[in-house]
Structure 1
């Protein structure tokens, strides 16, 4: 018998997989990664005003604000329900790569040293934390529990 698509939400395998992801997220590594990812997103959002390039490079400032808010929302979603949002764990890595290269893409030769250094460090931190979220303990084993 074929199950309707709407009935898959309650399928025992999906329920078990979500519980497994939620358990992995509730480890100390998960807590630390989620918290640091949230702080990184908040910092990225306010960094143009902290570092002082918001007035001189408005396009990069808007980019950092939007990317920082997105990362902050993702970190909050991971904290609230990693079992349902684990499929988005690659997004901080992608946004980290974008943050790393964005001073040259957006402002080219006019990017200031402060904005470049800020985005390089913040981008690398986002990449590392995103990779940690992708490989939380108990998820990446590749073997199903029996």
Structure 2
């Protein structure tokens, strides 16, 4: 049977040098960027905004497309690719709360990141390099 990868989105929301992560309530358990699957008939932009609200209660403005990660082994559940966006919250941050499949939500400094699910450690490593150099990741095997 022929199968295509599933499209997903992840959202990087930064505030005062810290990045927002959710603690997942479903397998695989652990911390991750807010995000999820793109529904049929939905744009990746709409999916990113929907997932941010569903998991963090924050409405976001998408600022830029960061990168597309497509390594077939990036998610242990199945082959997917993730469109990663940079965003800012339009909702006051004191209204942030975990919802949907998120158990907890909070900001972490880049030097205090917990163990991350999927390939989110790689994504945040690339994002830190982008912040330092201003250059987005370049296409390459393993991303």
Give the TM-score, by structure 2 length.
0.23
Structure showing greater radius of gyration is 1
Higher helix share: 1
Higher strand share: 2
